[in-house]
């Protein structure tokens, strides 16, 4: 009986280790429409890393340059021009990019390139504000002074 308990305990411990990973050797991949990654540990992390699965929902899992991530579509977006920063795709819209793929898009009051060439989405999500009129349609100025899409006011 004692032997059975030891075997059962060892099986449970080993089964829990199955998702441990090393970010230097783990091959990120797509499992259907889910991105499977091994996150980089924080500087103070002393516990093992565990792989993480991210459901891409209505988007698409993309594997590019050895990285797996969720994008809006499975093909590169011309707005991104092959890069990984944000870009204005119109005078009132900002697109965030990863390796040339659009990962998110936000409405702004105005979008312009900053000195570094990245997009500045004025009045978009997380923009500072003092009144609702300073936020894009669908957003409001929260009590914390940022444009948000949840009961801001």
Whether 48 is covered by a domain: the verdict is: yes
Whether 6 is covered by a domain: the verdict is: no
Task: Give the residue-averaged pLDDT of 16-26.
Answer: 76
Tell me how many domains the chain contains: 1
Q: Confidence class of residue 44 from pLDDT cuts 50, 70 and 90?
A: confident
Whether 8 is covered by a domain: the verdict is: no
pLDDT tens-digit readout, 2-18 = 444 434 343 334 444 56
Handedness of CA 5, 6, 10, 11 (dihedral sign): negative
Task: Give the residue-averaged pLDDT of 144-149.
Answer: 92
* Residue-range definition of the domain harbouring residue 57: 19-72
Whether 4 is covered by a domain: the verdict is: no
Whether 67 is covered by a domain: the verdict is: yes
Whether 38 is covered by a domain: the verdict is: yes
Between 41 and 123, name the one with better pLDDT.
123
For residue 66, give both structure tokens: 């050895």
Asked whether 146 and 132 are in contact (CB, 8 A), the reply is: no
By CB neighbour count within 10 A (0-12 exposed, 13-18 middle, 19+ buried), where does 33 fall? middle
> CB within 8 A of 126, min separation 6: which ones?
146, 147, 148
pLDDT tens-digit readout, 88-117 = 989 999 999 999 999 999 999 999 988 887
Q: What is the mean pLDDT of the chain?
A: 84
Whether 134 is covered by a domain: the verdict is: no
pLDDT attached to residue 150: 55
For residue 55, give both structure tokens: 């459901």
Between 65 and 17, name the one with better pLDDT.
65
Whether 7 is covered by a domain: the verdict is: no
């Amino acid at each position: 009986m004692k032997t059975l308990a030891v075997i059962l305990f060892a099986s449970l411990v080993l089964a829990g280790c199955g998702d441990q990973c090393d970010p230097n050797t783990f091959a990120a991949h797509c499992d259907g429409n889910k991105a499977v990654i091994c996150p980089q540990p924080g500087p103070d992390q002393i516990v093992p890393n565990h792989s993480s699965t991210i459901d891409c929902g209505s988007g698409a899992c993309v594997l590019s340059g050895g990285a797996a991530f969720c994008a809006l579509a499975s093909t590169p977006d011309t707005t991104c021009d092959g890069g990984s920063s944000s870009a204005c795709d119109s005078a009132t819209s900002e697109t965030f990019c990863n390796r040339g793929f659009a990962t998110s898009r936000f409405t702004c009051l105005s979008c312009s390139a900053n000195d570094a060439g990245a997009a500045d989405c004025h009045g978009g999500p997380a923009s500072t504000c003092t009144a609702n009129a300073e936020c894009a349609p669908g957003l409001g100025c929260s009590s914390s002074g940022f444009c948000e899409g949840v009961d801001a006011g």
